Structure 1
């Protein structure tokens, strides 16, 4: 009798294992590199460029991509936990993070697709047009800097916070009345537009491609030229200055695919690094990883119209 129960138990176990595997296979089979549904977690500071890519990708292929916009720390945590399989970030994974994913028998595919910049902004009525990174570092380290009344970040866990803490060689942004964060990039831009004496720190893409609702606030702020540490000149965060690597706060953008199979992560990654995707990057005011080709038509003869 015990043997009979044991066989029944084993048969049920095999059934549930088979059912679970078939569900996973079904999910994979319903999705390929150009078809199906996928979710991508995106560093909130990079949302506009990813949304542009998603819209064009979906119009070209039978695919639906959902974007989850989160601060960098939360986006990486979702990727490491396995809750999300595809992420777009402004940095590569650390060795420890990559090892954590590889321990799940998945090798992350990391692809550079664009370069943007962390920019400083002030209200358009402010007389200030530039900022020295040495002053920013000193301000973050508690020193009084006459030219900086306050620094405002879009989120305490954002990639812009990480960029500045690494620069200032501090672990966290100090808690102070004149150093604080809001919740999103849109909120930050609105705050600086309404409080022009403060300095905001935001991703470039939110200024080159503002939402319709945020356009009026973008029109009320300006980007500052930046002097890098131990540098002699102030550099404006323009597309050509970022491309020439002269802007001191340029940063590379990456798509990180941890799906572990040939799904939409692979297809979307190929799209944004391909001809169409790189043109979208260029038109968005960022710097593509590969500049798209230009077609030049030459003619052997020039036909002149006769004067009538």
Structure 2
């Protein structure tokens, strides 16, 4: 009986140690993970906020950020979409409340090859292209060449937002090219004359052509910084930082900096739209 009690006490003490290690960490380094779209701006915020290397961030997709929170692996998640109900429940089951802060806005830009004569598309037409109902550019006023759809992987917040706002419940076209980052989308679209894809506004450059988008087939809006700032571009979206309430004391100073005047200047300088 005495040995059993001793073993029980040992197990309890071990579990307390593991919990303390996971929640408090054995170093002072904060870790963040998630949205590839947000990675450049969060890295810039980190570099401006702290030169001591006390915050590490990495991409991989919004879904991986939420997984990291639920697995004790990170203190905050970067997400270019809103947290899903199941993700929120898994995190809050273990850690009290999940905190949400919008630190910037983005314009999810529809891009084509720079030589493509098609300059504008409705959301409905974009959906038909990505579903495979329109397969040649000649069907919508372009050249007689097949359309190559370039999309993101399912861990991507951009994929989740695009599915929600454009595709709905419809599956992605068979034969679509799936890539792992915004940069890879831009590279693939710039290399293929018939390609179309989507990426964050900060990744758009002269090697691809951004498309003006309409939700009513009449008013087409270009994905510019100004139009996104005024919230008139149809595919504008908030960019979030998520963290557990139990980690507030360690994360909040960085979040406050991101939302400060200086932090929002960093956001704008990196080509993103300030939160206010």
Q: Bin the TM-score by the shorter chain.
A: 0.7 to 0.9
Q: Which moved more, 1:167-176 or 1:17-26?
A: 17-26
What is the alpha-carbon distance in structure 1 between the residues aligned to residue 195 and residue 255 of structure 2? 38
What is the alpha-carbon distance in structure 2 between the residues aligned to residue 6 and residue 141 of structure 1? 62
Q: CA deviation at 1:123?
A: 2.4
Aligned 8 A contact 1:37 1:264 in 2: no
Q: CA deviation at 1:171?
A: 4.7
- Map Cα deviations across residues 264-300 of structure 1 (whole Å, 9 max, x no partner): 422221111111111111222222112xxxxxxxxxx
Q: CA deviation at 1:253?
A: 0.7
Aligned 8 A contact 1:120 1:223 in 2: yes
Give 1:211's aligned residue. Answer: none
Secondary structure of 2:160's counterpart equals helix
Q: Which moved more, 1:137-146 or 1:14-23?
A: 14-23
Aligned 8 A contact 1:124 1:221 in 2: yes
What is the alpha-carbon distance in structure 2 between the residues aligned to residue 8 and residue 99 of structure 1? 36
Secondary structure of 2:74's counterpart equals coil
Determine if the alignment matches structure 1 residue 219 to structure 2 residue 217.
no
Determine if the alignment matches structure 1 residue 278 to structure 2 residue 275.
no
Q: CA deviation at 1:249?
A: 0.3
Q: CA deviation at 1:115?
A: 0.7
Give the TM-score normalised by structure 2: 0.84
* Cα distance change on mapping 1:71 and 1:21 into 2, 3 Å: closer
Q: CA deviation at 1:231?
A: 4.6
- Structure having the higher Rg: 1
* Cα distance change on mapping 1:258 and 1:247 into 2, 3 Å: same
Aligned 8 A contact 1:86 1:257 in 2: yes
Secondary structure of 2:70's counterpart equals helix
Determine if the alignment matches structure 1 residue 39 to structure 2 residue 31.
yes
* Cα distance change on mapping 1:19 and 1:50 into 2, 3 Å: closer
Q: CA deviation at 1:124?
A: 2.1
Aligned 8 A contact 1:282 1:288 in 2: yes
What is the alpha-carbon distance in structure 2 between the residues aligned to residue 155 and residue 131 of structure 1? 23
What is the alpha-carbon distance in structure 2 between the residues aligned to residue 130 and residue 27 of structure 1? 50
- Give the gaps of 5 or more residues in structure 2: none
Give 1:159's aligned residue. Answer: 157
Secondary structure of 2:83's counterpart equals coil
**Aligned mate of 2:72, from 55, 73, 82:** 82
Q: CA deviation at 1:52?
A: 1.2
Aligned 8 A contact 1:113 1:289 in 2: yes
Determine if the alignment matches structure 1 residue 203 to structure 2 residue 200.
yes
Determine if the alignment matches structure 1 residue 112 to structure 2 residue 102.
yes
CA RMSD of aligned residues (A): 2.6
Q: CA deviation at 1:41?
A: 0.7
What is the alpha-carbon distance in structure 2 between the residues aligned to residue 25 and residue 48 of structure 1? 27
Secondary structure of 2:257's counterpart equals helix
What is the alpha-carbon distance in structure 2 between the residues aligned to residue 76 and residue 7 of structure 1? 38
Secondary structure of 2:241's counterpart equals strand
- Map Cα deviations across residues 20-72 of structure 1 (whole Å, 9 max, x no partner): 466468637x6xxxxx311101211222111211211223xx45221121123
- Give the gaps of 5 or more residues in structure 1: 31-35, 208-217, 291-308
Aligned 8 A contact 1:73 1:158 in 2: yes
Give 1:134's aligned residue. Answer: 124
Give 2:50's aligned residue. Answer: 58
Secondary structure of 1:82's counterpart equals coil
Give the TM-score normalised by structure 1: 0.76
What is the alpha-carbon distance in structure 2 between the residues aligned to residue 263 and residue 103 of structure 1? 20
Count residues in correspondence. Answer: 267
